[in-house]
Amino acid sequence: MDQVLTPRVGPQVVYLTITADQAGQRLDNFLINVLKGVPRKRIYQMIRKGEVRANGGRIKPTYRIKANDSLRIPPVKQVGLDKLDKGKPDSRWLSQINGFILREEADFLVLNKPSGLAVHGGSGIRHGVIEIMRVSRPDLHYLELVHRLDKDTSGCLLLAKKRSFLREVHAQLRQREMKKQYLALCRGAVTKQWIDAPLQIITRGGERMSVVDPAGKSARTRVSPIRVYPQCSWLSVRLDTGRMHQIRAHLAHIGHPLVGDTKYGDKAFNQEMRNLGIKRLCLHASQLTFAHPVTAEKVSVSAPLDQALQSSLSVLG
């Protein structure tokens, strides 16, 4: 009997039945997502040699999988998953994760992600939001991240419960129709402005980061002061584009790095803030707005500040 889709394909042949939500994807992209930890070269080799088959026949990487297709997946070794999957996620997060849900509907849910919790596992992180939610909510047969937030950034995080929803909302992201609003605390007095500076991803000290570079991709950030303190500014920030670390890199570029930013920030200033009790990256995804792909309804979700950020503002005040 065909097995229900699972990301853990082990040392034996497995048959996966494609659901309506999964239909329409290219075969290669589907397998890359399912066989996490398997090198792409091996995936294309399996397809080329006919080890992967649909309904008993050979197929090409460009084949669009269809609902009720039966995919044969050969035995594979998913590098690293044996380590990442040991044990359940931290019981503390498992007990709390559903309390972070701000809004849930048939197609999606929005979480108020806490600072310090990664959105997914990897690079030494065993479990993130997506892995914890999948364990906590076994009733959800499909659950994927729509976008990402840095580990130390808190706030609105959108997850798709259907592939059709994910596909349509990704189109809104590409067309810049999804609106993201942030709150940020940075060094110094900031004036209202657009920061229009292209960003290039580089690797420095073994870590990926974004730097302003004319050869980079276009990036625009709108900053508006809400309140200016003696040492800092509390800002409303709107993204016109969605580049990696965009807010952090742009504010550092204009000389106003985020409080608590260990990658782009001012080490001495961060220590000064820590002495005041401000010990986290002061960036919060406060609001997310998009059009529901099915109803065309405008969906707007706001995430309240956590206690740590509220306390930080009280200290400054």
Just list the catalytic residues.
150
* 3-class DSSP state of 40: helix
Q: 179: Cβ–Cβ under 8 A, 6 or more apart, which residues? A: 238, 287, 288, 289, 290
Q: 114: Cβ–Cβ under 8 A, 6 or more apart, which residues? A: 100, 154, 306
* 3-class DSSP state of 84: helix
Give the whole-angstrom CA distance, residue 151 versus residue 164.
Answer: 27
Give the whole-angstrom CA distance, residue 286 versus residue 51.
Answer: 47
Beta bridge partners of 238: 181, 222
E-strand stretches of 55-127: 57-58, 70-73, 101-104, 108-113
CB-based contact 294:226 (threshold 8 Å) = no
